[in-house]
Structure 1
């Protein structure tokens, strides 16, 4: 099962790959990362209000902290959340599958640099063109506002999906 989740995440992440060229940069200076395509799957999720299938990936630092229960997460921990609109599978309508790529979001831990937002930097890149989200750096207040209910988990919603 773990292998299948990782294969699904990497397959779906590959579908979101953009063409060559300069990486887009969010208004707060966080560039769209590319190495997330090789990260491990943390868990899938579903967002009711957006009708999106999401897969959360973690870099090696984040995965080590998740597995050991280390909180707060150490600097360098980074999560990527990939999102797709959803549709019914045409040959098996009981199944919901990814449709159009919606966005990739990042949480980057740097306790000093991102102190006002709990030590986390946030970035979102929308659509196939990976357009940076937000008119200016204040967009992070929107992200951080959503994450405050999970302050006790260092502002991270996702836990490792349990697998045998």
Structure 2
């Protein structure tokens, strides 16, 4: 099931940077991470306030920590959260499916580098052009502020979706 969700996410994430020398960079220095497309699915989510379908992917370090219950997450843990607007499936209107790509967000764990934000670096790239979010590096305070309610889970909202 996790592989199926990851495959769906990879198929739906049709945006791509054009070359390594042209990768977008967040104002805090985190570059768009192209390798996330091969990561495993952690869980899907729905944002009522935004009307968005989201899927969270984790790199191998993140997945191992989630499976083992390791907290705090080790350095090198990285999550990607992809978001799409939602629409009704035209042939099956009781189903809600992804529509327009909205953004991809990254959380990168490096306890020394990101000490002021709980050890996490944040980056967001918006739309099909992957426009970096934020005017300057202080945008991370907005991200970190949202994550403080889950401080007891090392500032991470997402848990592995239960599957048999």
Q: What is the TM-score of this pair, normalised by structure 2?
A: 0.96
C-alpha displacement at 1:77, in angstroms? 0.2
Equivalent residue number for residue 11 of structure 2: 11
- The residue number in structure 2 matching 1:25 is 25
- Partner SS state of residue 85, structure 2: strand
Name the SS of the counterpart of 1:105 in structure 2. Answer: strand
After superposition, the CA RMSD in angstroms is 1.0
Report what 1:110 is aligned to. 110
Paired position in structure 1 for 2:134 = 134
What residue is the counterpart of 1:67 in the other structure? 67
Once the two structures are TM-superposed, the CA of residue 6 in structure 1 deviates from its matched residue by 2.2
Give the unaligned 5+ runs of structure 2.
none
Query: Deviation digits for residues 52-108 of structure 1, max 9, x if unmatched?
Result: 000100000000000000000000000000000000000111000000000000000
- Which consecutive residues of structure 1, in runs of 5 or more, have no partner in the other structure? none
Q: Which residue of 2 aligns with 1:144?
A: 144
2:95 paired residue number: 95
- 1:154 and 1:28 mapped to 2: Cα distance? 21
For 1:112 and 1:60, the matched residues in 2 are separated by: 21
Residues 3 and 40 in structure 2, CA contact (< 8 A), matched pair in contact too: no
Using the alignment, how far apart are the partners of 2:29 and 2:4 within structure 1? Answer: 34
CA contact (8 A) 2:2 2:40 kept: no
Shift of 1:5: 1.4
Aligned length: 163
